[in-house]
Amino acid sequence: MDRITPKFKDVPAAQLFEVAKTTDDNERVMVVIKGSIIEGDEVVKTVALQLGAAGAEARKRLTDAGLTGLPLGGQVQIAQLKFGSRAQKSGFEQGWDIQPVKVPTEACWCSISRRARRPSMDRQPCSYPTASSYCFKA
């Protein structure tokens, strides 16, 4: 079987706090950050930050992990990092911009085998353009 949906989808950086609030206990928030290094080169990298217990306000969860984000309209900039925190160890850089936030998608696996063509309760017709395939939702 082949996975036909991407593992993550991009949401705007402005939704960082909403994503952090809805993330489960001790799960990670993945973001793409962009900034300049001392040599003047632009660097873009994907980093993940493990959050603590759920239930707290989003800003508190991020701050407890060592990251303070500053919303600037539709953008979020990394305003402060705690020394030795999970955020610093994960590769976040102070002053860099948070680009898209990566959110996990629901997995959709498709098979075009003979067996998959028969209707079943756990399969549904695939919404992606493949020949005679069925989707298996994970």
pLDDT digits (tens, 9 = 90+) for 52-101: 888 778 889 999 999 999 998 889 999 999 999 999 999 999 999 999 99
Q: Are residues 85 and 71 in the same domain?
A: yes
Domains contained in the chain, number: 2
Whole-angstrom Cα Rg for the chain: 19
Q: Are 52 and 61 in contact (CB under 8 A)?
A: yes
Q: Closest Cα to residue 23, out of 1, 49, 42? A: 49
pLDDT for the residue numbered 109: 66
Q: Tokens 């706090």 belong to which residue?
A: 17
Q: Are residues 42 and 87 in the same domain?
A: yes
DSSP code of residue 52: -
pLDDT digits (tens, 9 = 90+) for 17-51: 999 998 888 889 999 999 999 898 999 999 999 98
pLDDT band for 132, please (50, 70, 90 cuts): very low
Q: Are residues 79 and 114 in the same domain?
A: no
Q: Is the pTM of this model over 0.85?
A: no
**Is residue 91 assigned to a domain?**
yes
d(CA 51, CA 16): 13
3-state secondary structure of 46: strand
Q: Are residues 71 and 95 in the same domain?
A: yes
